[in-house]
Amino acid sequence: MPLEHTTTRGAPAGDAGAPSASGGPIYEVLLRPNRSLSPQGFVVVIGLCFGFMMIPLIPLLGTMALWAMLPFLLGAIALLWYFIRRNTADGALTERLVLSDRLIRVTRHNPRGPAQEWQANPYWTSLTLHATGGPVENYITLKGSGREIELGAFLSPEERAALHAELEEALARARATATPGAS
């Protein structure tokens, strides 16, 4: 699941600005790309490709042509294996957003490379949904502390719109209790 809510607290629906006594995060979500190929699916894909690629070799059994063709077919299977595994590793990308009364923090864990972090005061943070004109439909940006970052660019347009609505509500709750100090 691309959106994993780990914490959501706050006031009941009728009392949108009341602070919570716990002092913890108001909103916390872990974003990850959708993974459509499970480990079992990987085995099935490799097995089916291997089986279908071996069918043309049946007439060549017992001939030297079999040994001429076999390395190329096995190489194609090996490349398919490598690129599917590489795609799976690239899907290890995650973005964690934690929103409290005084701080909003986004940490992006890249599959290859260091983690990137951004934080700002939620009172001064602006959230924008670019319905058109961005690199993708329903592009979400957060702006604060002199920087503007993208959020969830790997999500579907519908997921980004839902995330925007949730985050807008959570920011409103945080601003109701936040101190407008510089950050």
pLDDT tens, per residue, the chain with 183 residues: 477 766 555 543 333 334 444 457 889 999 998 888 888 999 999 999 999 999 999 999 999 999 999 999 999 999 999 999 998 888 888 999 999 988 999 999 998 889 999 999 999 999 999 887 667 788 899 999 999 999 998 888 999 999 999 999 999 998 888 666 644
Q: What angle do CA 137, 122, 172 make, to 5 degrees?
A: 75
- Residue 105 pairs with which residues in a beta bridge? 98, 119
Domain ranges in the chain?
3-34+94-177, 39-90
**Structure-block tokens of residue 48:** 């089916």
- pTM equals 0.72
CATH classification code of 3-34+94-177:
2.30.29
